[in-house]
Amino acid sequence: MNKNHFIVHHRFHDNIACLIETLQNAGYSIRLFVILKTKTETYDLVEPIISPPSSLSSFGKRLFKKDLLAFIPSIRSVFQEYRVNRPEYVLIRPLVSGIGLVHFVFALWYCKKVILYSQSPKYRPKNAKNDFFLKLVLALPKTEWITPVKYRSNEAFEKQLSPHQKINYIQLPHNKVESKKTWFKNDVVNLLLIAKSQSYKNHTVLIEALRGLDKSRYKLSIAGDYSNKDAYTQQTLGKLESADIHYELLGYIPHEEIGKVYQSSDLLILPSSYEMHGYVVNEAVSYSVPVIVSSETGTKCLVEDGVNGFVFKNNDSDHLRSVLINILENRDQLIGLSENCKEMYNLELSPKGFLKNYELILGRKH
């Protein structure tokens, strides 16, 4: 059986590393096509193929505006890849991009199944053009759409689809690392924030929620690069200082070392506003760390309030503060929530569970 599998991902993210490893362990031969490599990702599993540009990239910039989306690869080089390697499956993210559309055309011709992955284009505000485009694409043979985000706008969109069209909900897997969990190190609740220094990460809501709380009962560890001198980063650092909260900047944590951070953390907080999918929630649940998320982030679908974490009202620092006060006054409840995280991992986030669900999609008949 031909198990050649192309993955087209405009920029490699560590959050697809386990997906690649899972497919490789199942016997799939992976070729990963990207536009660029970065200095912050790990390329141990597969060496990405850097797609050469075509002369049409200038047209792509007028069409898509953003450079990563606008990049159009050499059509000849893409054709050669499909002609020589004859992949049976292709996973593309994002489709609405230069590299995505070029690969999509060849994939429809050469492949048995084309998988379109997104963090849910329907999660963002309603867009009639996107609706029409998605319906058109999903009507094509051999095409499937997968997303990790189950959200009410997706459910409304599903009702508009014909019976052979389908949204497949599937979580990106994460390798569970068995280790002894350390609870309440230094006799405090150890809070963890893993976030880039970008405005949609909503640092201010968390800072305001912690303002005035007893610093002897918690510690906030912040993982991410905050060395930039841009206005938002400087503003965030200034708010951290003026709020007089107990925090520590951990800096950038390499992918292979992030497990140690989770093992000594009691609670992950994702205050993001309108973030489509935060893979850190997948990581936290895999390490049996309960999570707090806002009501308007896609990853909320992984958090059941009071079962494996908590959900607070989007942009409501007072509500988040009340949740945190409840945790600080009853911190042992986190241990019970941690046990529920283990159950969710086995059902949805393990490589074994992912492979079973993914291969069902690969084999689904239209």
Position 178 in a domain: no
pLDDT for 78 beyond 80: yes
**Average pLDDT score over the chain:** 85
Q: Are residues 152 and 8 in the same domain?
A: yes
pLDDT tier for residue 164 given thresholds of 50, 70 and 90: low
Mean pLDDT of 299-306: 88
Q: Are residues 140 and 229 in the same domain?
A: no
Looking at residue 153, what is its pLDDT?
A: 52
Range 104-112, long-range pairs (CB < 8 A, 24+ positions): 106/78, 106/79, 106/82, 107/6, 107/82, 108/140, 108/141, 108/142, 108/143, 109/82, 110/82, 110/83, 110/86, 111/6, 111/87, 111/142, 112/88, 112/142, 112/362
pLDDT for 65 beyond 70: no
Q: Which amino acid is at 67?
A: D
Contact indicator for 269, 292 with CB cutoff of 8 Å: yes
pLDDT for 156 beyond 70: no
CB atoms within 10 A of CB 140: 12
pLDDT tier for residue 333 given thresholds of 50, 70 and 90: very high
pLDDT for 29 beyond 50: yes
Q: Are residues 114 and 151 in the same domain?
A: yes
pLDDT tier for residue 51 given thresholds of 50, 70 and 90: confident
Mean pLDDT of 324-345: 94
Most confidently predicted of 11-25, 98-112, 120-134: 98-112
Q: Are residues 149 and 248 in the same domain?
A: no
Q: Are residues 197 and 136 in the same domain?
A: no
Position 179 in a domain: no
Q: Are residues 200 and 243 in the same domain?
A: yes
pLDDT tier for residue 275 given thresholds of 50, 70 and 90: confident
Q: Are residues 160 and 245 in the same domain?
A: no
pTM for the model stands at: 0.84
Mean pLDDT of 38-63: 72
The range of the structural domain enclosing residue 211 comes to 185-347
Rama region for 202: left / alpha / beta (φ>0; ψ in -120 to 50; rest): left
Q: Are residues 297 and 343 in the same domain?
A: yes
Q: Are residues 354 and 343 in the same domain?
A: no
Going by C-alpha positions, the residue among 179, 148, 145, 152 that lies closest to residue 353 is: 148
pLDDT > 70 in the chain, percent: 85
pLDDT tier for residue 57 given thresholds of 50, 70 and 90: low
Domain total for the chain? 2
What's the CATH number where 89 sits? 3.40.50.2000
Q: How many CA atoms lie within 13 A of 243 on its CB side?
A: 23
pLDDT tier for residue 123 given thresholds of 50, 70 and 90: very low
CB atoms within 10 A of CB 320: 23
CB atoms within 10 A of CB 266: 24
Q: Are residues 314 and 356 in the same domain?
A: no
Q: Where are the beta strands (DSSP E) in 42-137?
A: 49-50, 89-93, 113-117
